[in-house]
Amino acid sequence: MDEGVKLLEAAGVRKRFGALVVLDGVDFAVGAGEGVGIVGPNGAGKTTLLNVLAGTYRPDGGRVLFRGEDVTSRAAARRCRLGIGRAHQVPRPFGGMTVFENVLVGAGAGGRRRGREKYRQAIDVLELCALGDLANRRAESLGLLHRKRLELARALATDPEVLLLDEIAGGLTEGEAAELVVTVGELRRRGIAIVWIEHIVHVLVQAIERLVCMDGGRVIADGDPDEVMRDATVVDAYLGSAAVR
Amino acid sequence: MTWVNAVVHGILLGGLYALLATGLSLMFGVMRIINLAHGSLALLGAYMAFLLVEHAHISAYLALVPVLPGALVVGYVLQRTVLERSLRSGMLVPLLTTFGLLIVIGNLLQEFFSPDVHSLDPGAIGPAAWRITSRLSIPAFDALILGIAILVLFLLQLVLTRTQIGRELRATAADPDAAELVGVDSRAVYARATAIAVATAALAGVFFAMRSTFDPTSGPTQLIYAFEAVVIGGMGSLWGTLAGGIVLGVAQTVGAQIDPQYFALAGHVVFLAVLVVRTAVESGGLRVRLRGATT
């Protein structure tokens, strides 16, 4: 973390839904170009953290900073235009629109490109996510793998500096997940920082160099993936003894 | 041949209903707002044109030049100031808000213009008709309105499919939260949609005022016809709105052919029949999509 400036940062973030405290003072940061994985049991607050970072939820306490600037009160659309991209666990393609149009919405609204460049951006992103052949298909007619790729492509089209990925490999086969790792690797080579929530840890560690473990709305471990995975509290909270192989 | 005549007149009348219904359909398709003030906003457009005709002594057609941009502004401001707040409080609040607007607009018109009945002059085209046979004639003005309705729908479709604004509108209609996350400002999109909707309403209002008489209470009646056209055509579907308007128009003129008293009744009966059949078929609830935009 020390090697770069903090690109996106959550400082003491709290979020509750009614009586349920989901985020209990989370400190989290990702540097420019860095790859960070987030693991933790269900209900640990991982997705909520991404939602607070992306601006879908406003935190009840704490701040969100982008390049040191306080963006806590900025709406999701504004944050996207600043350079924060977000892909959902359950893909949410825009129904009634083609794959190309889906990506074009992101390229035009969230990206900084206008006119013809916007189309070029959309085509580039579709190629990168191996969706070129499906560009004219209706988004809702895609299968799960392609929906997941479209979710990624649409977020990428907005030209993010940091991409928040929520279990985009969930429900995919080993081979499909491996392809996804290759794609994410390419994004990293392009200098895009990645924050990736994933349950399939061995897939995750191929694409990131830092691992954060959350439990009960807190960060309980943060650092080198191997060390975090060996951490006694992490094993206890999340993996259980059987998972340590 | 009189029946053919009735059907032809009904199809042409459908153009006016489609024009009236377009904005209603758009707002429902994009924001799920059922704008009860839609007919009143159309009427407001008619009164603005009336003011210009009376005081600036221009034709009603020329009055559209300032009235339509004015309506765009009214729609934009209306969304940003009133409807946006209402939307945040759930589905029912916009319904109440627009109902309130309906009453406010009706009473303001009554206050400023008195309950007198007015009409706008459609010019030479008003009484003109193409006589095909002794029993079949095509009224030129109604044909003009149908042509304008088709043109408006065509332009709207072009905007929805070919422009970034249109794509953002469709994306927001499909999933406003997901659209926000790719940088689409849904509030700006909503304001644009309402602006377009109010402008089409004003356009329809001016043509309605040229076609028949109007007074400050005409708004709700127009709303009912527009609403019926939208429901018959499938909620939120653009070209369905045209079909709905035509079905409604034909039902009315054919009904009137049986007995002049059945004009409005026949329309309502067809509307009810379609509603019952559709709810039975799609028992999962009315599906909401901007279908017309992409097919």
The Cα–Cα gap between A152 and B127 comes to 60
Q: How close does chain A come to B204, measured CA to CA in Å?
A: 28
Q: How close does chain A come to B180, measured CA to CA in Å?
A: 5
- Contact state of B174 with A94 under an 8 Å Cβ cutoff: yes
What is the CATH code for B2-294? 1.10.3470
Contacts of A55 in chain B (CB under 8 A): 180
- Contact state of B180 with A118 under an 8 Å Cβ cutoff: no
Helix/strand/coil (H/E/C) assignment for every residue in B191-211: HHHHHHHHHHHHHHHHHHHHH
What integer pLDDT is reported at residue B124 of this predicted model? 83
Percentage above 70 pLDDT, chain A: 94
Contacts of A147 in chain B (CB under 8 A): none
What integer pLDDT is reported at residue B280 of this predicted model? 83
A218 touches B: beta carbon within 8 Å: no
Report ipTM for this prediction: 0.86
What integer pLDDT is reported at residue A99 of this predicted model? 96
- Contact state of A110 with B290 under an 8 Å Cβ cutoff: no
pLDDT at A202 over 90: no
Q: For B270-282, write each residue's pLDDT tens digit.
A: 999 999 988 888 7
pTM for the whole structure: 0.87
Q: Report which secondary-structure segment, H or E, holds B162.
A: helix B140-162
Average pLDDT, chain B: 91
Which one, of B295, B99, B102, B290, lies nearest residue B193 by Cα? B290
What integer pLDDT is reported at residue B1 of this predicted model? 67
- Contact state of B182 with A109 under an 8 Å Cβ cutoff: yes
What integer pLDDT is reported at residue B285 of this predicted model? 46
Q: Report which secondary-structure segment, H or E, holds A218.
A: strand A218-223
Q: For A11-47, write each residue's pLDDT tens digit.
A: 999 999 999 999 999 999 999 999 999 999 888 999 9
Q: For B48-77, write each residue's pLDDT tens digit.
A: 999 999 999 999 999 999 999 999 999 999
Residue B185 token pair: 């400002």
CA angle A192, A193, A198 (to 5 degrees): 120
What integer pLDDT is reported at residue B283 of this predicted model? 65
What integer pLDDT is reported at residue A171 of this predicted model? 84
Residue of A nearest to B188 (CA): A77
- For residues A232 and A145, the model is more confident at A145
What integer pLDDT is reported at residue B237 of this predicted model? 82
Indicate the domain borders of chain B: 2-294
Q: How close does chain A come to B198, measured CA to CA in Å?
A: 25
| Residue A240 pLDDT level (bands cut at 50, 70, 90) | low
pLDDT at B244 over 80: yes
Mean pLDDT of B207-226: 93
Which one, of B218, B12, B255, lies nearest residue B102 by Cα? B218
Which one, of B43, B51, B92, B25, lies nearest residue B220 by Cα? B43
B30 touches A: beta carbon within 8 Å: no
Q: How close does chain A come to B34, measured CA to CA in Å?
A: 22
Q: Report which secondary-structure segment, H or E, holds A61.
A: strand A61-66
Q: Are A160 and A84 in contact (CB under 8 A)?
A: yes
Question: Which residue from B164, B170, B180 is facing A94, i.e. has the nearest CB?
Answer: B170
The Cα–Cα gap between B164 and B177 comes to 18
Residues 177 to 206 of B: which have CB under 8 A from any A CB? Answer: 177-186
Question: Which residue from B170, B182, B186 is facing A96, i.e. has the nearest CB?
Answer: B170
